Amino acid sequence: MKNLTFLMIALLIASSMVVSAFMLKPELLVVAENYLNNKRTVVTKGLAEREVKADRVKIPLNIALRTNNLVETSKELADIKKRIMFYVKEANISESEVSFYALNTLEHVYEYDKGAKYTINLNGTIDTANIQGANKFIASTKAMLAEGINLGIGFNEVSYTFNGLNELKPQMIEESVNNAYKVAKQIAQNSESNIGKIKFANQGLFTISDTLIDDIKLVRVVTTITYYLED
């Protein structure tokens, strides 16, 4: 009698275990499948590129005058400043966008540097959003040179920049995402499956670089997207 009770208890517990195993079986299978599906992905990259017009330009203004007489040359310097301002106005650039920020008079103290006693150096910049005006001003440096004014604008010293990235960002990301999606779809087709949701996406860095034309900039972004593959 005692043995029979133990047997029955054992049977009860055993069968309840079997029942619960059957109950959990489909869930466990789903979990396993989820796990498998989670590993089934395709990673693609999408590129978006756009050429944009620079929206800001910085032109250096460097004037160097060799002289023996500071007082006289300072008058000449004032005249040159006036002439520069004349051309600035001519190019429709606002006067407030011109700054002269430093001045130094250098004594020529070495034997090899004989001739004039001093060089007066005046440094400044034009910083403006008026690209057209700036280009006009640069073109007029030729006329200034004819007047004896040398601004000393060297090769590559005029710097154009683009600052409107934030407005461009959403549409460029969209474009790069679409490009990435196209590739993912192609890959999925080849393996006879479908593209699912985005598992992971990285916007990537936006870069702004120079083109062969001074006032045109290239904005570029590469987005990386990992898609789920579904059957």
Partner 1 sequence: MSNLVKLLLGLIVAVLIISVSYLIKPILFEVSNKLMESERFVTVRGVAEREVMANHILFELKVSTLVDDIINESSKYEQNCQKAQAFMLAKGIGAQDIAMRSLEVFTNRRKDIPKNLVTCNLVVSTSKVLKARELLSSLDSLVKEGISVKVYEYQIAYGYTKLNDIKPSMVEEANKNAKDAALVFAKHSNATLGKIKQARQGLFSMQDGRRPELIKVRVVTQVDYYLKN
Residues 4 to 33 in contact with partner 1, rule: CB under 8 A = 5-6, 8-10, 12-13, 15-17, 19-21, 23-24, 27-28, 30-31
Nearer to partner 1, 114 or 142 (CB): 114
Is residue 127 a contact residue for partner 1 (CB under 8 A)?
A: yes
44 CB-side CA count, 13 A: 21
Judged on CB neighbours under 10 Å (0-12, 13-18, 19+), 218 is middle
Instruction: Give the separation between CA 187 and CA 210, rounded to whole angstroms.
Output: 34
C-alpha atoms less than 13 angstroms from C-alpha of 184 in its C-beta half-sphere: 28
- 3-state SS track over 32-48: HHHHHHHHCEEEEEEEE
Cβ neighbors of 181 (< 8 A, separation 6 or more) are 44, 46, 195, 225, 227
Detail the DSSP E strand segments found in 4-147. Answer: 41-53, 56-67, 98-107, 118-128
By beta-carbon proximity to partner 1, the closer residue of 33 and 143 is 33
Q: Which of 199, 208, 214, 216 binds partner 1 (CB under 8 A)?
A: 199
What x/- string results for residues 128 through 157 when contact with partner 1 is judged by CB under 8 A?
Answer: ------------------------------
153 to 192, contacts with partner 1 by CB under 8 A?
163, 165-166, 169-170, 173-174, 177-178, 181
Binding flag, residue 117, partner 1 (CB under 8 A): yes
Give min distance, CB of 133 to partner 1, in A: 15
Given 36, 82, 95, 114, the residue binding partner 1 (CB under 8 A): 114
Residue 212 beta carbon to partner 1: minimum distance, rounded to whole angstroms: 26
One of 88, 91, 120, 149 touching partner 1 (CB under 8 A): 120
